[in-house]
Amino acid sequence: MSKKITLNIQGMHCASCATIIERALKKSKGVNNAIVNFATKKASVEYDEALTGPKDFELVIESKGYSVSKSELTLHVDGMSSEHCAGIVKNTLMKLQGVSQVKANPIDGKAVISYDESQLKIDDIINF
């Protein structure tokens, strides 16, 4: 099934940077089309979700010396009191498209979530 995603990119300094990223994304397995805009610092990628996904695009972009910008959210999770609970919280949140990392700490009951705000809003995380 074909999907489209927009990623915020950090580190581009000129139109040539955008071209480098765009070419690399277009060569990636499962990518139908990619457009990178230097002015907006965004990459729009159309892809087959059975073959590839956002984490693969992030690796491609990083391999060219750039990064996908992330936001961070810290939540207090009531009842998270063991490593088992922390694992459940982490595994559940990692299922959300746009979440790149979750650090769940049962000692202080907090989960720190790194995510791409172009794909996911805070309410989406809280209500998941």
- pLDDT tier, 1 (very low <50, low <70, confident <90, very high otherwise): confident
Task: Go through the domains of the chain in sequence order and give each one's CATH number.
Answer: 2-68 (3.30.70.100), 71-126 (3.30.70.100)
The order of strands in the sheet holding 2-10 is: 31-37, 42-48, 2-10, 67-68
Q: Please give the pLDDT value at position 106.
A: 96
| Digit-coded pLDDT (tens) for 73-122 | 999 999 999 999 999 999 999 999 889 899 999 999 999 999 988 788 99
Give the per-residue pLDDT at 117: 84
The predicted pLDDT at position 13 comes to 95
pLDDT score recorded for residue 94: 94
Rounded Cα gap, residues 117 and 8, in angstroms: 9
